[in-house]
Chain A
């Protein structure tokens, strides 16, 4: 895989490489700086609108920074007695945390099975797994709803949590399978020689080695549950059971969007995910995984 050069030029090359490395870093930093402006745009606009009062939102450009920034919108969103932010936060947290636990456990198990164990029918079952992603959810939505209604799950958190414990979604299984396939087999074989069975290999060898992937799956499924709109909208009826994403939508009335409140709500909704991402991304530190030893 790695080309072997001759020893003589390697020193020079190394110097050049170090120089390039520094230069590359500089270029990288500049690119990052330029790009970040474009990528921060949505958050900037959301924040700017959240800090304006209603008439300023209506009369000034979307891009302008508020003349008199105000926290009044945040206060209103947080304290409106008819639209209880605290209650929505509690519901959303409960759903997101439990379903994320379910997703991480059950999808990593299935991924291990598909990546590391040779069982009858594996490859074709894997295609079935992929196929479950290919049918648009719109046409299965009503039958699924009828099914959950028939077992009394409507107006409970169950349809939003329990399926997570049964596989956790083809997307996550596929992702983790790819990571497990990237870990050398020698590690399992060494463990087998030490008397380990599949469960030990799964739990003690692969789980720790694929932390970045597990974090990715965790962050994604947490975010997915946190930001889910159609699920809670369909399955939860009572106002006391609403989640943030659905509950705050009440600030959108027909033809009368309250942008200032909507945006204040949106900013509040994404802050927890940002914190989780910020913490989670620490596992993406170069060189933590020791693989490919030859």
Chain B
């Protein structure tokens, strides 16, 4: 019946063919389901065509760009943490007005807190598709049996102390009993419990104590990471790992295979782990009955605080309709189909997402029943996903959250790592975050940017640039030949000049203007005067640190990288057997995917079991005195924690950058072809040794290329951030917060494009000074055909 009503509606409103763009961020597994469900929608609604697109990375950036350029899709996937960026800027339809279009639609069937998380001031902006309470404890039945503990029925509680009197009803007691200490006092052979990611357990603890990270999750005034309950929860969570060793520490989790707690579970290194229901398809694939390594498992609801309330962190997602759509009604039909019973049941059948509608989440196919295939019966206890739904707490929805939680949370990893006490470092960090929040709220009252004046300023700027370029030529008299050369010169550079004027200058000038504005990409810019620059220099807590980190990195990495490239190029320029193969091998790291490289380097730098430390703390390393030499950089365990310690993290990234010397090598290899063989022969005959030939023949002739490598190396190195993003995310304690990382987060996480522009122009000025200085000192460069 639902189907036919929808069809009548759809057919009625779609006389001519209508095409809708529908964008999601799902991977291939979910895409199979969505694609076929979109097809079902099209069949039920003749005349509506849906163009399905998936954006697997940088989803928000792309959507922002599309909205800014007025080419947004009609329907887009969205989540509670992000929809405010668009809704508060008037870019999303409030969905309430559409409800009457589809009489069978009933919002009251959706989980109420899920609806609330996607609403603002009583208006629903995102129709929820799924809910994902992180209340699921996956447990290994065999290990429970071996320890003589009954399977958990969800009635357990936790306190800050182990409660032996409560036995299996006390979570910490269970955790303790399931931990198997190592025989030799090292790391446990088996941990009792692991959270899916380091903050999950901590967040659950303080939520159940009644604490919240902000006074208001939608429009906050106060940042509350200094709440004694949050401080206590953070320290408690760290102590369970570092003092009791009942759960693996963060380092121990990332040291496990592909940095994933579910791997520890399938390898039976932890008896229980906590996450959301989305781990199920992966676990089913890895734990196949009858195969090696299989064990029985099920799920239980995570415990509640003995003196508190039930609460669990959660995520969720849904679909929103963008204001730019030409067909809001059809967009609603699609939204309501995909985030309604049809779409939800399809996702539930695949085991991918818990329906956002209560009655669907308590019946088949989501809950195993007689019609459920045998391989999808596990986990049996899936009803807990519905039981925990009323207690979920979504992450803050304010657009300021990513920035202020970044500032306030910088010190948390120090606590998790055991290098600082929560009560010492968290309050000062919270103070910094609060200052930032105050400033952000204050900026909401600025006057609009004057575009007429801005346009004039842009033209004046271009005029000044033109005058500066022309200045040295003023009053010069030219011969006919020079005039001809002038014309020829400009003809040669014409494509570049045109391209620069057409494609490059406009956006550059605009970003310069925006550096004096408060601009969030979507809403009209507001005038901020020199405010951005003042903020950077005076009260941005990250600016100076980021600048100095970048400078240190550049000064170390560029000379090292160029030297390595030159050394490689010279080695690879000799006549050795199989040279093409050698060259290709050395070029390979520059081709490897960044994600794969990051994976490898994490394993190399790992404190325990990493290749580097394996070598240093081997008997050979001991013989060579490496362990003693590095002792000042070691942490409490006596080993160097390369990426995890403030002392060595930046250096580790420098080391990693040298590995990419392959592209520099190619350039210098090409440069070496400019050195004729006979010059070497002549020099050799004249008695010149290796060093002398290098200094007097190779270096001068390769100097133009070397100079190029240095200049572009510096320009590039100042703008590096992908390695930090993938390896350390700026940590530990900001030791690898590159300037560009800060800039990127300001631009796309905090949506402060104006401020990011100011940062960019500061960086521009720094690089310019560096480059001009190098050009001034370029006497050492020898041009065979100069001037």
Contact = CB atoms under 8 A, between A and B. Distances in A.
Classify the secondary structure of B's interface with A: helix
A54 B58 CA distance: 26
A142 B521 contact: yes
A143 B507 contact: yes
A65 interface: no
Contacts of B701: 182, 292
Interface string B43-70: 0000000011111111001101110111
Contact of A182 (B266, B582, B674): B674
A134 B753 contact: no
A83 B28 contact: yes
Contacts of B278: 254-256
A136 B676 contact: no
Q: How large is the interface on A (under 10, 10 to 19, 20 to 34, 35 or more residues)?
A: 35 or more
B54 A250 contact: yes
Contact of B469 (A125, A198, A215, A273): A125
A230 B62 CA distance: 9
A198 B488 contact: yes
Which secondary structure dominates where chain A touches chain B?
helix
Contact of B688 (A5, A144, A145, A229): A5
Contacts of B496: 106-107, 109-110, 129, 166-168, 173
Contacts of B676: 287, 289-292
Contacts of B506: 143, 147
In the A-B complex, list the 9 residue pairs whose CB atoms are closest, starting with the nearest: A253-B27, A166-B499, A119-B489, A113-B492, A167-B496, A149-B69, A42-B592, A5-B687, A143-B507
A250 B56 contact: yes
Given A3-B692, A167-B500, A183-B784, 17 more contacts: A43-B592, A110-B495, A117-B485, A117-B489, A139-B747, A178-B708, A181-B704, A181-B786, A219-B666, A237-B51, A252-B57, A252-B595, A256-B278, A259-B258, A270-B592, A282-B580, A286-B677
Interface residues of B, number: 157
Given A2-B696, A135-B764, A179 B674 contact: yes
Nearest to B663: A220
A256 B29 contact: yes
B764 A130 contact: no
A45 B465 CA distance: 50
A190 B696 CA distance: 28
Contacts of B514: 139
B68 A146 contact: yes
Nearest to A141: B65
A263 B593 CA distance: 9
Given A28-B574, A182-B701, A62 B783 contact: no
Interface string A53-85: 011011101110000000000000000101100
A36 B696 CA distance: 29
Contacts, number: 429
Interface string A136-160: 1011111111111110001100000
Nearest to A140: B507
Interface in A101-127: 106-107, 109-110, 112-125, 127
Nearest to A31: B571
A41 interface: yes
A117 B510 CA distance: 32
Contacts of B574: 24-25, 28
B756 interface: yes
Contact of B492 (A109, A124, A163, A263): A109
B348 interface: no
A20 interface: yes
Contact of A4 (B68, B584, B686, B700): B686
Interface in B745-764: 747-748, 753, 756-757, 760-761, 763-764
Interface string B247-276: 000000000011000010011000000000
Contacts of A94: none
B479 to A, nearest CB: 11
Contact of B495 (A109, A133, A149): A109
B740 interface: yes
Given A2-B682, A120-B486, A289-B674, A145 B659 contact: no
Interface in A228-267: 229-230, 233-234, 237-239, 246, 249-259, 262-263, 266
Contacts of A239: 52-54
Interface stretch (B210-218, B368-376, B418-426, B711-719): B711-719
A263 B596 contact: yes
B35 interface: yes
Given A184-B785, A274-B591, A118 B489 contact: yes
A258 B56 CA distance: 13
A134 to B, nearest CB: 4
15 contacts: A2-B688, A2-B696, A14-B685, A32-B571, A42-B589, A42-B596, A82-B32, A83-B28, A114-B493, A132-B504, A187-B785, A250-B27, A256-B281, A277-B584, A286-B673
A223 interface: yes
Contacts of A225: none
Contacts of A179: 670-671, 674, 704-705
A136 B596 contact: no
A124 B688 contact: no
B780 interface: no
